[in-house]
Structure 1
Amino acid sequence: MAETRPAGFAAPRPATATPANPAGANPAAAQVSRPQQSRSPEAMRKTAQEFEAQMLGAMLQPMFETVPTNGPMGGGAAEAQWRPMLVEQFGKQMAKAGGVGIGTAVYRDMMRLQTQSSGEKP
């Protein structure tokens, strides 16, 4: 008897083994254990700044939840929809302006870990 599926649902595809992925496991999971290539200091600094921006946005979000939305702009559903984007931009601008030091610490650790993994002395 043939298997029937609801419209729009395809049969599950079997995991495919490849030379780089012999067990057919999730390729993203396989990359976790694979050593990363050396990155330029500029790329690492940008990554550290983006991380700090995310952290600052996460710290600011609860503060903005306490601010009433019934001000001169009216608030409502639209403000509730757009406020997380505003908070995200605040975090990005704060990190771009120097932040609170999280990005600097992350960058320093990234540089240290890269030099250790490449065998260089810091």
Structure 2
Amino acid sequence: MNVSTNMAALQVTGAQVAQPGAAAPDAPNSAIKEFEAMFLTQMVDEMLKQVEIGDFGGGQAEENWRFFLAEAFSREIVDQGGAGLSASLERALSAYSQTREME
């Protein structure tokens, strides 16, 4: 898949641009929310790496568990309205698609 095909899949109209915390009305919005969840997973995972585990834990199993915990936290954040990243992406993609239509 090329970049233009990817961008076409994520194009949204001005009416579709959601406010922070609004439910996703269609597939492009859900793809953007999925991106937000992936981004938040990486951020939360990095934050959890800084938490002192103490005498209990460590090793490969703890690292795997930490990632799944970060993913669960991130999904919950997105389900409760997100961090506002998806709304910003939707506005940017909408502006991009409008300029592309003008060309």
TM-score range, shorter chain: 0.5 to 0.7
Change (3 A) 1:80 1:33: closer
Check if 1:76 corresponds to 2:90. no
Question: Equivalents in 2 of 1:85, 1:107: separation in Å?
Answer: 27
How many pairs are equivalent? 88
Q: 2:3 aligns with which of 32, 38, 46?
A: 32
Look up the equivalent residue of 1:108 and give its one-letter code. R
Find 1:101's aligned residue among 53, 66, 84: 84
Asked whether the equivalents of residues 49 and 96 of structure 1 are also in contact (C-alpha less than 8 Å), the reply is no
Q: Point out which structure has higher relative CO (alpha carbons under 8 A, 6+ apart).
A: 2
Q: How high is the sequence identity, in percent, across the aligned residues?
A: 27
* 1:32-82, Cα deviation, whole Å (9 max, x unpaired): 3668546565222112211211222222222101223347xx423322222
Q: Which runs of 5+ in 2 are unaligned?
A: 17-25
**Structure with max Cα Rg:** 1
Unaligned regions of 5+ residues in structure 1, if any?
1-27
Q: Greater share of helix residues, 1 or 2?
A: 2
* Cα RMSD (Å): 2.7
